[in-house]
Amino acid sequence: MEGTPPATETTTAEEASSRKGSGRAAKRKTSEAEAAPAETPEEASTPATSNEEPESKSKRGAKGAARPAEEATPAPSAPAKPARTADPQYLILTGGSPFLRAIGSVRRPDGETLPGFANLAVTKMSAAPLPTEPGPYEFRFQASNGTGDFKLAQRSETGAPRNVRDFEMASSGGFQLYRFTIP
């Protein structure tokens, strides 16, 4: 018991040695020193697959060899999406009071709400993305936190607003419809 220090003392000694250097440079040196011994056994245990490869590539191969076969192929950065058939369109709100919000959902004219387009909120500061599949749609919404008239329009990423429609605040908070078409 006397010969081995408790685990807490070991941790504090390691922390103290890492705190001796200050700044990011010291941390980089420490992490490089820790990473170097870990790479050396992998390089020695994994033979090079080709004598023609430069040394830097064989190091990369050794690092990759430690991974399971499932992770060898890089995963796509974003989930696979269907090919877009139209430019991205956004629903925007203009006019009215500064805190006005239109909250609703996008649906087909037959009444079917589209998955992923329920509970959308549109304000002066934020636009709501619209579906990219061509066809007619409706935005069924309730306006809140505002007074007076306002406008809803659809806009592409770089284009001017189009299909601009005027609306008034419903006195009883009733639902309103904004009809639009994705070309």
Residue-by-residue DSSP string for 109-125: TTS-BPTT-SSEEE-SS
123 close to 143: Cβ distance less than 8 angstroms:
no
Domain ranges of the chain: 7-65, 89-182
150 close to 93: Cβ distance less than 8 angstroms:
yes
Q: What is the pLDDT of residues 130-172, one digit of tens each?
A: 999 999 999 999 998 888 899 999 998 888 899 999 998 877 7
Mean of all residue pLDDT scores within the chain: 72
Residue ranges of E strands in 28-134: 89-95, 101-107, 120-122, 128-129
Residue-level pLDDT at 171: 72
C-alpha distances (whole Å) from 56 to each of 48, 61, 62, 120, 161 are 11, 9, 10, 50, 53
Mean pLDDT confidence for 85-95: 84
Task: Provide the pLDDT confidence category of residue 112 given band limits of 50, 70 and 90.
Answer: confident
